[in-house]
Every structure is written in C-alpha cells, then in structure tokens.
C-alpha cells in the first residue's frame, strides 16, 4: 500500500512502508503511514507542522530506525495526501483544532495501538506540537512521553498579534473564513533558498522543493483566515493556567535559537511553567530543525533519543 506515498530519487520511500487512508467521523479521509523496523525502543508518532507531508520526514524515519524506533505518521486534514477541505485545494483550512485532535485520536485507535509496537513516543513539530499539547489529556494513557520541536505557542510577525487575531476573527464573523489570509498567497512561486526562514541547509531545502515540484499536490500555497483564527484559539487554550496545571506527561521541548516563525522565548517560558517538562534550546537552528544542517539536526535527534529510550524512563524526572 506504499503506492500512496510519493518519492523522488533524492527522497525514496523507506523500505517496508505501509500506507493507507482512514476515514474520520465527518467523512474526511486522512492519509497515514507506518514504518516498521526491529523497534526495540517502540514507536515514534511523528506529527508534522502546517503545510508538511509524510514524505518530508522520510529521512527522519530512517534516522529513527537506526536508533531502534519504528515510526507512524499522518497527514493533517487539509494538507499532504489527506482530503482538502475547500474547493481551492491549495488553501489550508480548519475551523477548530479539535478536528485535528479527533483525527489524532482515531489514528491511535485504528492504526497505532493495534499495529505498532509500544511504548509510544510523540515527536511533533510546530503546529503538530500544538495539536499534541491540546491532545495531551487524552494521550496521557497512551504515550510514555512527548518531544515537542519548535511548538507553535505564538507567532512571530511584523504586525501586532492582537491586530492579526482581530482581523482573522472579523473575516470569520462575516462569513469569509474560507478566504486566504491577505498577503499569504504565493501560488506557483518558489521561495529562493536565500529568502527562506525555515532552514540553513541548502541541500535539504533543495530536496524538499524538488519533492513539491514533482508532486505539487502535496503542498499548500496559503492558509485561510479560519485556520488562523483556530490557531489563535488553540494557543490560548494551551496557555491557560488550568490547562498547564493539568499537563502530566513528561515533555521535552526543543526550541530553535534562530527561529523566525515561532517565538523561542515563549517556548522556554511555557516549558518552565509545566511540572513535568524540560526545555533545550538549540542555538542557531532555524524553525525546521529536522530539515536543518547536520550540526543542528544531530543535536535534536540525540536529545530525542536520550529522552525517549525506554531504558532512560526511570531516570528522567520533571522540572526545567
């Protein structure tokens, strides 16, 4: 069933991949994939960021397999190989992040728990990390711990966040939630490496751009104002004191010191406000640490392995 996955010579499908489609309660089809290995350390549930796909993490799947971890991942609704939610398939859209949480719950129920070897560790990036936080009350009985990489806790924008939030809410209130956020459209425009804010690694950036040129159906050009409004709502929910007090899962936050997409100081403050969390900042790394240069990427993978290995669980305690 790996024919559901796309590849290019620089980014081949990992051997043994099993892919399929699951159907959410509302009929939306969600693409998923499992990557078995000897898995003496269990299974990593890889949760990607906005406008990413399973294919973007093939290299990471291989790195985890070398460390004794199987992997499982899904494409969030509205992106990658999952069903799109608007007539314009290039516009990422959601009205509430609760839909993402529900899809993640179904992924565990139908795919991870019956078909993947425990223990389970969540390794989530950016928007995926925000979703994992929202889902943490439900995940506490399923996963042993989470590693959240550059989580979306607040945006880094040139405009005041209060203004951006007000505009997104206004568009939604007058029925324009499916419209792209003004100024975000870049349909058909490939951002040069020198102008990108995601990675300092030219080879990995070129590989990801080549993947999208070969399979443009995997990518998005913009996001809807409803998506932006929903993201603000989700960020406010996880920052609420009552929510933070209820987080019990051991969590390692990995922040990128050179992040220009999300706020690294906000991640550091948030992690220190949880009882069961640690935080490590990778100095100089940009937002997409797993797409970064080896110097930064290896730090993230080493920190993940040290935190996630089952043999290390008894020796890991909470606190920042």
| Peptide bond connecting 110 to the previous residue in cis, omega within 30 degrees of 0 | no
Give residues with Cβ within 8 angstroms of 27, minimum separation 6. none
Any alpha helices (H) in 113-263, and if so which ranges?
113-115, 127-139, 161-173, 202-214, 225-239, 241-245
Residue 286 clears pLDDT 90, i.e. is over it:
yes
Please state, in angstroms and rounded to a whole number, the distance separating the CA atoms of residues 104 and 54: 14
Write down the pLDDT at residue 33: 98
Out of 177-186, 288-297, 301-310, which region has the weakest mean confidence (pLDDT)?
A: 177-186
Write down the pLDDT at residue 146: 98
- Encoded tokens for 8: 């290019």
Residue 162 clears pLDDT 90, i.e. is over it:
no
All structural domains of the chain with their residue ranges? 2-315
Residue 158 clears pLDDT 90, i.e. is over it:
no
Q: What percent of the chain has pLDDT over 90?
A: 86
Write down the pLDDT at residue 314: 42
Please state, in angstroms and rounded to a whole number, the distance separating the CA atoms of residues 90 and 57: 21
Please state, in angstroms and rounded to a whole number, the distance separating the CA atoms of residues 92 and 204: 23
Residue 185 clears pLDDT 70, i.e. is over it:
no
Average pLDDT over residues 87-92: 95
Please state, in angstroms and rounded to a whole number, the distance separating the CA atoms of residues 272 and 108: 29
Out of 21-30, 51-60, 98-107, 148-157, which region has the weakest mean confidence (pLDDT)?
A: 148-157
Predicted structure pTM score: 0.94
Average pLDDT over residues 295-299: 98
Write down the pLDDT at residue 319: 37
Confidence label for 315 from pLDDT (cuts 50, 70 and 90): very low
Looking at domain 2-315, does it have CATH number 3.40.50.1820?
yes
Residue 312 clears pLDDT 50, i.e. is over it:
no
Out of 131-145, 153-167, 217-231, 281-295, which region has the weakest mean confidence (pLDDT)?
A: 153-167
Residue 34 clears pLDDT 80, i.e. is over it:
yes
């Amino acid at each position: 069933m790996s024919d559901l996955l796309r590849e290019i010579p620089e980014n081949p499908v990992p051997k043994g991949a099993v892919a399929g489609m699951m159907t959410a309660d509302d009929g939306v089809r969600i693409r998923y994939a499992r990557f078995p290995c000897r898995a003496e350390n269990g299974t990593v549930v890889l949760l990607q960021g906005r406008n990413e796909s399973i294919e973007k993490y093939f290299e990471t799947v291989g790195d985890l397999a070398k460390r004794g971890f199987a992997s499982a991942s899904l494409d969030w609704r509205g992106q990658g190989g999952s069903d799109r939610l608007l007539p314009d398939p290039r516009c990422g859209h959601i009205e509430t992040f609760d839909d993402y949480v529900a899809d993640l719950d179904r992924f565990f129920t139908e795919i991870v728990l019956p078909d993947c070897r425990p223990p389970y560790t969540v390794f989530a990036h950016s928007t995926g990390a925000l979703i994992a936080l929202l889902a943490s009350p439900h995940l506490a009985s399923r996963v042993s711990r989470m590693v959240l990489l550059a989580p979306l806790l607040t945006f880094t924008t040139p405009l005041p966040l209060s203004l951006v939030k007000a505009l997104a809410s206004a568009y939604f209130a007058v029925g324009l939630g499916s419209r792209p956020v003004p100024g975000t459209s870049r349909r058909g425009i490939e951002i040069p490496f020198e102008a990108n804010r995601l990675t300092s690694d030219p080879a990995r950036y070129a590989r990801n751009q080549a993947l999208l040129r070969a399979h443009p159906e995997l990518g998005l050009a913009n996001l809807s104002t409803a998506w932006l409004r929903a993201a603000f709502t989700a960020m406010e929910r996880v920052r609420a004191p009552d929510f933070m007090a209820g987080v019990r899962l051991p969590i390692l936050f990995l922040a990128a010191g050179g992040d220009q997409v999300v706020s690294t100081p906000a991640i550091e403050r948030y992690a220190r406000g949880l009882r069961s969390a640690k935080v490590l900042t990778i100095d100089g790394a940009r937002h997409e640490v797993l797409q970064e240069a080896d110097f930064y990427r290896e730090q993230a993978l080493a920190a993940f392995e040290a935190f996630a290995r089952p043999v290390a669980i008894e020796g890991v305690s909470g606190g920042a």
